[in-house]
Amino acid sequence: MFSDWKRRRAAERVQPGDGSPLQRFRWWQPFTRSLLHLTLPAEDGRTQTWSVDVRHGGDDNGTVWARLYLDGRLEARSKLPARFPVPGGDIEVVHSGFGLKRCHYVAADGTERQLVPDAASAEGRRARLDRSHPVAGRLIGLVSLVVLVVGLVLGVPQIVEEVTQIPPVAERIGTFTSPVQLPAALNIGILVATLVASTERALRLRYNWLLDGGLFDGDG
């Protein structure tokens, strides 16, 4: 959940929408767009559908927006991280370098639940795999976790060694020799594998600051 300071900052970023329609999810957008939905009761007893649309590539200047739609019409938009007020609570949206790491409805009593991915999105297809083939889904998730742990154990010592070879760093704290020395081709392979694993976890909105690049996102 957001801290009080982050809530205030997020509230300041929210801009009103212009009522434009929500565009249908296209087949070529699975890794460039996230679309998730939430159904809530309205005050008059009707059912409302709130949708969060995030284009990961951003707009022309690279700014990534979260757009909030009410029954298919643009209600509001915000730069990320975003926090939108909706009936009974708020929708919180946070992204990482691999996709969304949070898109949850937080009720006034503090309970929260993740929004439901659009069936046509990559997140929706991954969720469908978990429902139709739960064993395979869990196995893929476990493999992703193992790949990231192995990548962390093998990669960090080598990175530390490279950093301590920089003269100002070496003069201040000395040098470090990594106990792990891998050929460049294998390091590239591990890097590619970790990128794929983090992307797979992002499709399930799973995130850990240490495993999924939070050090580089500024988390901690």
The whole-angstrom separation of Cα 197 and Cα 204 is 11
Work out the end-to-end distance of the chain between its first and last CA atoms, rounded to an integer number of angstroms: 14
Crossing angle of the two packed helices 184-203 and 134-164, in degrees rounded to 10: 130
Coil, strand or helix at 28: coil
Cα angle 116-47-7, degrees, rounded to a multiple of 5:
60
Phi-psi map region of 34: left, alpha, beta (phi>0 left; psi -120 to 50 alpha): beta
Residues of the chain with pLDDT under 70: 1-3, 213-220
- Cα angle value 43/47/49 (rounded, 5°): 115
Assigned token pair, 43: 């005050």
Please give the model's pTM, rounded to 2 decimal places: 0.85
Residues 6+ apart with CB under 8 A from 117: 34, 35, 36, 37, 123, 124, 126, 127
How confident is the model at residue 149, as a pLDDT?
Answer: 96
Determine phi and psi for 138, rounding to 5 degrees. Answer: -65, -35
Name the DSSP letter for residue 21.
B
* Angle, CA 17 vertex, CA 13 and CA 21 arms, to 5°: 140
- In this prediction, residue 219 carries a pLDDT of 56
Contacts by residues 130-136 (CB-CB < 8 Å, ≥ 24 positions apart): 130/204
209 contacts 199 by C-beta, under 8 angstroms: no
- The rounded percent of the chain whose pLDDT value lies above 70 is 95
Q: Any idea what the Cα angle at residue 102 is, between residues 187 and 63, rounded to 5°?
A: 80
- Cα separation, 91 vs 68, whole angstroms: 9
Asked if 96 and 214 count as a contact pair (C-beta separation under 8 A), the reply is yes
Question: Is the separation of the CB atoms in 79 and 63 below 8 Å?
Answer: yes
